[in-house]
């Protein structure tokens, strides 16, 4: 019986360790304040089509669903700057943030994604607007 309890406690401890988040989350207001700092890099991890529908000004687009996501991110993103990351709803960007945090990046995820951003009446741009 003691062995079973010890195993259950060990599994619980491992489960808690696996569930640790390696990045910070913030709401739209906090994200807006963060990206006002010109040293922060904004990363949109949605698909090319989603990005083309509208994105946060200055965001770099690297599709999290593509196999070369990590390679492209490493080539495009500096490790010495904070990366402000978002997607549509916050789920993909959280997954991407975990992967990138394991590569040494400091990340802040937009909780609720661009949906929360637009609901907070924050501006987006269409790629043709940036020219």
Nearest to 131 by CA among 62, 57, 60, 76: 57
Quote the CA–CA distance of 128 and 118 in Å, as a whole number.
Answer: 19
In the chain, what are the domain boundaries? 21-130
**Residues acting as catalytic residues:** 87
Indicate if the pLDDT at residue 14 is higher than 70.
Answer: no
Is the domain covering 21-130 a CATH 3.40.250.10 domain? Answer: yes
Q: In what order do the strands lie in the sheet with 82-86?
A: 24-26, 106-110, 82-86, 41-44, 60-61
Q: Give the pLDDT confidence of 53-105 residue by residue, as tens digits.
A: 999 999 999 999 999 999 999 999 999 999 999 999 999 999 999 999 999 99
**Rounded to whole angstroms, how far apart are CA atoms 14 and 76?**
34
pLDDT at 3: 59
Please count the CA atoms within 13 angstroms of the CA of 35 that sit on its side-chain side.
Answer: 25
pLDDT confidence of 13, banded at 50, 70, 90? very low
C-alpha–C-alpha distance, residues 58 and 100, integer Å:
20
């Amino acid at each position: 019986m003691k062995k079973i309890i010890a195993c259950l406690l060990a599994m619980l401890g491992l489960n808690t360790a696996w569930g640790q988040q390696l990045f910070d989350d913030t709401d739209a207001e906090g994200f807006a304040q963060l990206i006002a700092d010109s040293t922060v890099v904004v990363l949109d991890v949605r698909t090319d089509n989603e990005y083309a529908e509208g994105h946060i000004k200055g965001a770099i687009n690297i599709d999290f669903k593509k196999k070369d996501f990590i390679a492209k991110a490493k080539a495009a993103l500096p490790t010495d700057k904070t990366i402000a990351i978002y997607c549509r709803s916050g789920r993909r960007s959280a997954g991407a943030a975990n992967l990138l945090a394991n590569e040494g990046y400091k990340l802040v995820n937009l909780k609720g994604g661009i949906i929360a951003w637009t609901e907070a009446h924050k501006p987006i741009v269409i790629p043709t607007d940036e020219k």
